[in-house]
Amino acid sequence: MTNSIPTTGEGPGGAEADALAARAEAINKIYGSGDAEVVALDDVTVGLGRGRFTAIMGPSGSGKSTLMHCMAGLDTVDSGRVFIGAVELTRLDDRRLTRLRRDKVGFVFQTFNLVPTLTALENITLPTDIAGRRPDRDWLDTVIDAVGLRDRLRHRPGELSGGQQQRVACARALAGRPDVVFADEPTGNLDSRSGGEVLSFLRDSVRRMGQTVVMVTHDPVAAGHSDEVIFLSDGRIVDRMPGPTAEKVLERMKGFELAGGGAAR
């Protein structure tokens, strides 16, 4: 894994496309119409390097969740193209899109979204069960040990702490060995200790398992653990920071606030 993987998609094909787990090319997303029109994404081009940990930051309403949903195939774009690996998901019909999402994409929501009646283990293997695939036992063991929940596998979500539930959600996202894991404020509902546990797990999944992870966060410390921070404002990418530290990220956020970029929560 080198640090020189390009993170901007300069066009399809070639070695560069191979180095990218996912990319968006000039995507636009508008909600509503007339007076109620909101430009959520305004000509966004971005590539997510394979095996890299990318953080997305920006004020509330800047388009972070929209970008994640569009890149994960959970929402459609109005124009532009989205690729997971070499596959252009903006060209897929519903059936193929569902399959690609199931096989290639993991998503961690801010509110864990676990099934309350299933045990931790059943939640983790649910996507592969639905897909009718047998989970790779070795991989599953690796993921379960990495989230540190081996002794909680038979517990239901209601019997787990917030941090443990979110770690189950992370394990579920990784269990199918997706090409990319999208995590939308995965630590947003957690206290700092539980948030720290989830963050270390996501970071370790990149460092030790070569996973590609992109995470929305408002926390400069969390962003400081990433390989690169992408800053969004008003639906546009306004800055990128390779090799971030918490201090540098905080400085940059202050700069946005002074420039009238809105509250960064």
Ligand X SMILES: Nc1ncnc2c1ncn2[C@@H]1O[C@H](COP(=O)(O)OP(=O)(O)OP(=O)(O)O)[C@@H](O)[C@H]1O
Residue numbers at the binding site for Mg ion (CB under 5 A):
65
Give the integer Cα–Cα distance in Å for 127 and 14.
Answer: 32
| CB of 56 vs ligand X, minimal distance in Å | 8
What is the rounded CA–CA span in Å between residue 242 and residue 158? Answer: 39
Question: Smallest gap, in angstroms, from Cβ of residue 61 to Mg ion?
Answer: 8
CB of 141 vs ligand X, minimal distance in Å: 34
Residues 6+ positions from 96 with CB-CB distance below 8 Å: none
Among 64, 101, 172, 252, binds ligand X (CB under 6 A): 64
Site size for ligand X, by CB under 6 A?
12
Q: Do 112 and 168 form a contact (C-beta atoms < 8 A)? A: yes
What count of Cα atoms within 13 Å lies in the side-chain half-sphere of residue 172?
Answer: 29
Of the ranges 58-66, 96-104, 120-128, 237-245, which one interacts with ligand X (CB under 6 A)?
58-66
Q: Which residue minimizes CB distance to Mg ion?
A: 65
For residue 39, count other CB atoms closer than 10 A to its CB. 16
Question: Which partner from the list ligand X, Mg ion, none does 61 bind, CB cut-off 5 to 8 Å by kind?
Answer: ligand X
Is 31 among the residues that bind ligand X (CB under 6 A)?
yes
Q: Is 40 in the site for ligand X (CB under 6 A)?
A: yes
Residues 220-234 as b/e (b if ≥16 CB within 10 A, e otherwise) read: bbbbbbbbbbbbbbb
Interacting residue ranges for ligand X, rule: CB under 6 A: 31-32, 38, 40, 58, 60-66
